[in-house]
Amino acid sequence: MARLQNDFIADTVRQYPDRFIGLGTVPLQDVDRSIRELDRCIHQLGLKGIEIGTNINGQNLDDPAFLPFFESCAKWDVPLFVHPWETLGRERMPRLDQGWNVWPHLRVTEQPPSFYTKNFYFDSLSYEPLNIRLLLERFGHEMRDTVYCEVKQMDEAAIRQSVLEIVEQVQAYVPGYRLKQEPLFEENRVTVFLEVEGAGDYFPPYAGNLDIMTAAAVRVGEEVARHLLDGRGVSLGTK
């Protein structure tokens, strides 16, 4: 599987060399095979680095078994991109609060460890209500979004004003929608940092982009109903 993926990545880079820089992957559950695939990725396929996870089937990256692989990376000067995945030791996390509660003389924080989880932001895609409930109750309901766009003519004042107007319009039906900071301008790229904060219940009314679209649809539906009740009729369509 790793070879197939690396071949595909290398082929994509060859087709679009001005757009992509390729990172390979290796099967670290087999260190010898990983070293051979690392060699192939760098010296045959021309990839520029390797992406690995934060643990391998429950083994942390500091496990001595992985040392030969890291030595090979160092020898060939290969950058490693560590992508967080399957947090190690998560089954022990709930006991941190227990230790804080029963041994007050060992406390180094004013609040139990779980209190500080709300200072972290998590990116998750889930269709299971129980999982969503856990995420919202444990980590909070605030959502951040970053929007990138490229423009031909960089009129910072006009773009900034346009962003503020859009945010103000969305706030009419999503009160928690706001700018996190001023738009960032770099050459021909504009980056807009947005934030959506919910109402604080199990499933907040304004929890993300889906709710923004839903709220907009409801608003349109209410406007259609109002026109129908007024007897003016409604014409829906595109031009």
User: What domains can you pick out in the chain, each with its CATH number?
Assistant: 2-83 (3.30.420), 141-225 (3.30.360.10)
Whole-number average pLDDT of the chain: 78
Which amino acid is located at 212 in the chain?
I
- pLDDT tens string 163-208: 888 888 877 766 677 777 788 888 888 888 777 665 433 334 444 4
Number of H helices, E strands in the chain: 7, 9
User: Smallest Cα–Cα separation from 69: which of 24, 31, 26?
Assistant: 31
Question: Each residue of 117-166: pLDDT tens digit?
Answer: 666 666 666 667 777 777 767 666 666 667 778 877 788 888 888 888 88
Residue type, 184: L
Question: Looking up tokens 């992406």, which residue turns up?
Answer: 51
User: What mean pLDDT comes out for the span 73-100?
Assistant: 81
Query: Residue 176, class by beta-carbon neighbours within 10 Å (0-12 exposed, 13-18 middle, 19+ buried)?
Result: buried
Distance CA 83, CA 68 (A): 20
Cβ–Cβ < 8 Å for 61, 34: no
Q: Name the strand (E) or helix (H) holding 13.
A: helix 2-15
- At residue 24, the pLDDT reads 96
